[in-house]
A and B are shown apart, each in its own frame.
Chain A
């Protein structure tokens, strides 16, 4: 069964360092998403991406975040200069359809980021 894969599963970094989280969405999906979950809190939407551009983003997704689809298979989230409060589980998701999608996103297992 096709699945969304994320790497790394766990990354530890020093405050101020740049981090890139990688995702391989399901191959025929066209819409991609990042969410995060700080321990004990809600799963929060960060950004959605379609046709090589951001289609929607939340207030959390500020200038320190960026997303990219560098090739035909990967979808990345970059955090430019990490802060302690960026420590969270980051989930990548993909879907076949975007704005007409009625909610079936397919999620990866998550990448846990720990900022020291």
Chain B
């Protein structure tokens, strides 16, 4: 079964510092990978997605992620954290080869200090 593992339930950074949220995947089919974000009191929303095109994917709000097959990773980065980036971030992989429904990880809470 396809799955993702997010390393670290909480990540704390200072405003202006690099954000790195880690995600490793396991998939028996070519993976389609996603990052979703959930701001307080809101639903999850798509940040970016990898669907077998360019390995470096750019998303909204300055985030990007790089697909590395050799490392089975899809880490999310942002060069400079902003206070408004504080949220829960979810990595996901599609459920199966015939499905594009995402299967999510546990989530990583990003805390941004002034």
Which residues of A are in contact with B by a Cβ distance under 8 Å?
Answer: 3-4, 33, 35, 40-45, 48, 56, 91, 93, 98-110
Contacts and interface: CB of A to CB of B under 8 A. Distances in A.
Contact of A107 (B32, B34, B45): B45
A99 B43 contact: no
17 contacts: A3-B43, A35-B104, A42-B105, A43-B104, A44-B104, A45-B104, A91-B43, A99-B99, A100-B100, A103-B32, A103-B34, A103-B94, A105-B102, A107-B36, A108-B43, A109-B41, A109-B42
Interface residues of B, number: 26
Interface in B30-64: 32, 34, 36, 38, 41-46, 49, 51
B25 interface: no
A42 B106 contact: yes
B114 interface: no
Contact of B46 (A91, A98, A104): A104
Contact of B43 (A4, A56, A101, A104): A4
Given A43-B90, A43-B107, A45-B95, A103 B102 contact: yes
Contact of A102 (B32, B36, B107): B32
Interface of B: 32, 34, 36, 38, 41-46, 49, 51, 90, 92, 94-95, 98-107
Nearest first, the 10 A-B pairs at minimum CB distance are A107-B43, A43-B104, A107-B44, A103-B34, A104-B46, A103-B49, A108-B43, A102-B51, A42-B106, A101-B100
Given A43-B105, A93-B44, 14 more contacts: A40-B106, A42-B104, A42-B106, A42-B107, A43-B107, A45-B103, A45-B104, A56-B95, A98-B100, A102-B49, A103-B51, A106-B45, A107-B36, A107-B43
A33 B100 CA distance: 12
B93 to A, nearest CB: 10
A34 to B, nearest CB: 11
Nearest to B6: A42
Contacts of A93: 43-44
